[in-house]
Structure 1
Amino acid sequence: MRTLLRLCTIVALACAPAFAPSAAFAAGGPQVLVVSTGNAAQDVADYAVERLQMEARRWNFTLTEGAPEDLEDLGDYDVVMLLNTGGDFLDDRQQESLETFVEQGGGLVATDSAIESEPDWDWFHETLGATALPPAEAATEESVTFNSGSQITEGLDDELKLTEHWYSFDPAPAQPGSTILAQLSSGGAVAWVNEGLPVFYASPGGEGKTWGDRDFLQLIRQAIWWGAGEEGALVQNSDDAAPAWPYTLTFVLFVVAVAGGGSIAVWRLDKAETEKEAAAKA
């Protein structure tokens, strides 16, 4: 019986990390609904969500991948992210729900082709603050520079090189009305916020490589934090960057090895105690 109890304890301790909630989840950070309906490249959208999930675990927010119908009830969310969305994908009820959400202080973060979404929805385009022209046919590398003085750009390098099918805008985001956070070396705006509502837009994001860039991910996560109304600095949960369960085979083998090694040690200890008790009785 003692052997069994000890073995159970060892296995429980070895497996405990697999079932413990992440620090980000336990902390109850901002809740983010991400929708990517109508995107032009599903592989890019999938990779972007994967990277954002890692950012969420590390930086104390929760990311939920959803569909247009999830926009009908946004009571559990702090931010809606339209990730490279495209086309007319929202019905009247979903549009009304998103508009009410933003007007009442909910955050909206949009990237890349999202600015072309819902071409007949005036509120949406007035809120984003610009009208996009068709993107360039060829992807080119451009230098992006960030403006200081915003929570969203804090800590970013002065210059970032990205390869994208770049958008231009006519009309461009107006000042006053929008605050430009980043621009190309040519002067064209690539990221800005609405000055009256918690709305952020960044034109990069159409290329998968962009979502692997450390500075771009920092820009997006800080925009999410800002959109949620969080004014404090982001606090990193360094142990929460690994993929969620199911864990890798390496981890499973590690647990088995720990449990197996522990069982051998317990068996030897129990055997020694049994022999000692037998000797004492003799």
Structure 2
Amino acid sequence: MQIKSKLLTLALLIGISFSVFSQGGAQYRVLVFSKTAGFRHQSIPEGVAAVKKLGQEQGFGVYVTEDANQFTDENLAKYDVVVLLSTTGTILNEAQKAAFQKYVQSGKGVVGIHSATDTEYEWPWYNKMIGAYFLAHPRQQTLRLQVKDKSHPSTWHLPDNWLWFDELYEFREINPAIKVLINADETTYEPAKPMGANHPMAWYHEFDGGRVFYTALGHVESAWKNEAFLQHVHGGIWYAAKGKLPK
């Protein structure tokens, strides 16, 4: 029993050491923030687990919180990317908003996933930063996604026409400066409030000194087990962290 106990202790120590080493050698550090003050998506746990797994596989550190008190100048300075994972409603107070704004202005990255556009409706800076506000969605459907720009790391791997099932967002107050990556083909599904031929579903832009990537996909739990979608998210995180695009 003593031998087994010592072996177990040794194994735990090795595991802890490896964890510290792998985080210490991370290419960059990602803070996943999934606080909700409105609707809470069932897919959040799957999303958190998937981003953690991406970090393990792709060599970046992942830290997860729903505590808005982590949004201070000192704490945010530790991270290269903040991932807003299906956040909803008003999630930050005025001091936390100021810290987040400084973080972006310092040249850092933001990734918004799905309902990150259903967040902070009374903060104009956030609207321009994330790129749009949620307007409506129909029932979940399969549609044709048109990949408009394959020069971005989030879309390098995708087909020109991507058949996809999800909760399909429609938007208002779209920032005209965003660079659209993926468009929804409204002729292939039944929208709630049609946007017409220009219906963005994923985009990126440089904003106020930082880099922002957003994808409206990821409502359904199954999305977080789809390899093409996971590569899409990984490419967005990598862009937000590194800012590297082909010349």
Which residue in 2 is equivalent to 1:185?
A: 185
Q: Is the 8 A contact 1:40 1:86 kept in 2?
A: yes
Task: Quote how far apart the aligned CAs of 1:24 are.
Answer: 4.6
Which residue in 2 is equivalent to 1:280?
A: none
Asked if 1:212 corresponds to 2:232, the answer is no
Give a deviation string over 1:174-198, Cα, whole Å, max 9, x none. Answer: 2xx1111111223421000124440
2:130 alignment partner, one of 120, 123, 128: 128
Which residue in 1 is equivalent to 2:193?
A: none
Q: Is the 8 A contact 1:24 1:56 kept in 2?
A: no
Tell me, which stretches of 5 or more residues in structure 2 are unaligned? 187-196
Q: Is the 8 A contact 1:173 1:189 kept in 2?
A: no
Distance 1:168 1:93, change over 3 A: same
Which residue in 1 is equivalent to 2:120?
A: 118
Relative to the length of structure 1, the TM-score reads: 0.71
Structure scoring higher RCO (CA < 8 A, sep ≥ 6) equals: 1
Amino acid in structure 2 at the alignment position of 1:51: A
Q: Is the 8 A contact 1:111 1:203 kept in 2?
A: yes
Relative to the length of structure 2, the TM-score reads: 0.80
Q: CA RMSD in A?
A: 2.7
Listed as ranges, the matches of 1:99-248 within 5 Å are 99-136=101-138, 138-146=139-147, 147-174=149-176, 177-186=177-186, 187=197, 188-196=199-207, 197-229=210-242, 231=244
* Higher share in helix: 1
Count of matched residue pairs: 223
Give a deviation string over 1:155-191, Cα, whole Å, max 9, x none. Answer: 23333333222111234442xx111111122342100
Give a deviation string over 1:194-237, Cα, whole Å, max 9, x none. Answer: 2444011111111111111111111111111111126399xxxx
SS at match of 2:90: coil
In 1, the alpha carbon distance for the partners of 2:29 and 2:49 equals: 16
In 2, the alpha carbon distance for the partners of 1:60 and 1:232 equals: 19
Task: Quote how far apart the aligned CAs of 1:42 are.
Answer: 5.1
* Higher share in strand: 2
Percent identity (aligned): 23
